[in-house]
Structure 1
Amino acid sequence: MTEFNVRDFYARYMEALNAHEFDRMDEFVHDEIVLHSQPSSRDAVVAQLYSITDAVPDFHWETLDIAINGEVVAVRATNTGTPVKEWLGVPPSGKPINIEEYAIYTIRDGKFLHMSAVHDAETMRRQLIG
């Protein structure tokens, strides 16, 4: 049996996100999960990802820091892209956004079981308004 490498797992997850290969989320996310402290599903995660990239087709996630404590993973990332459609209630301004994200995950049996993230919403809204 090979040892599960959390860093490699997370790197593969980020590669799938940045390739917008959301059909691969079954490799990374359990069918039923806890998302932002609420019962949810992998289908909801996928729908959320598609809604982001529908409005921001060049949306890109970049891991800045990762901390691992057993099955808990904390990540600081930056998210970039240029909205081309209304997003989060704001029409596109043609200007790119660059926002910080802080995420906490729990991995069980080689997949995310709990997923939660916080963005700098104030900065994001300011950037969206242009």
Structure 2
Amino acid sequence: MTLDDLAPIYRDYIACLNARDWENLGRFVHADVRHNGIALGLDGYQCMLENDVEQIPDLFFEVRILAVTEPHVAARLWFDVAPKGEFLGLPVNGRKVGFAENVFYAFRDDRIQEVWSIIDKAAIEEQLARVVLSER
């Protein structure tokens, strides 16, 4: 795998997520994938993604920044979504919020084996605080 291979593979992975094409997830994600240090395996990773979609029906992954240094990919993903109920312990309850996720991937055998991600929860908290102030 080369640097030129990783960016297109990653963009195809994001397209797979956005299409909810779970049957092809294994083309992009390794059978023994780990997420934030936790061994999930492909089935657990797919379950995590399906739960995300259940919680956030309008979930759409937008790649804003992409950096590749083989075998790693770093991305800043953007979301403009309306999660149902609580999200990250915050009472979003269907309100539209925008936030970023900074995520790093390690590839093995042309597939994602390790994922480390951090969601900008503070940005969501700030938006919710403005909504509460405007409702007063």
TM range (shorter): 0.7 to 0.9
Aligned to 1:103: 103
In the superposition, the TM-score normalised over structure 1's length comes to 0.86
Aligned to 1:114: 114
Residues 63 and 77, structure 2, Cα contact 8 Å, conserved in 1: yes
**TM superposition shift of 1:44:** 1.5
1:10-21 alignment, distance < 5 Å: 10-21=10-21
Q: 2-side partners of 1:20 and 1:87: how far apart?
A: 20
The percent identity for this pair of structures is 23
| Structure 1 segments unaligned to the other structure (5+ residues) | none
Deviations 1:7-26 (A, max 9, x none): 11011111111112223211
**TM superposition shift of 1:80:** 2.2
- Please tell me the root mean square deviation across aligned C-alpha atoms, in Å: 2.2
**TM superposition shift of 1:93:** 3.2
Aligned to 1:81: 81
> Cα gap change, 1:32/1:109 in structure 2, threshold over 3 Å: closer, same or farther?
same
**TM superposition shift of 1:83:** 1.8
Out of 75-84 and 109-118, give the one that drifted further: 75-84
1:26-105 alignment, distance < 5 Å: 26-105=26-105
Deviations 1:16-51 (A, max 9, x none): 111122232111111112210222211121111111
Q: 2-side partners of 1:7 and 1:48: how far apart?
A: 23
Deviations 1:100-127 (A, max 9, x none): 1111101111100111111111223444
Out of 79-88 and 59-68, give the one that drifted further: 79-88
> Cα gap change, 1:12/1:128 in structure 2, threshold over 3 Å: closer, same or farther?
farther
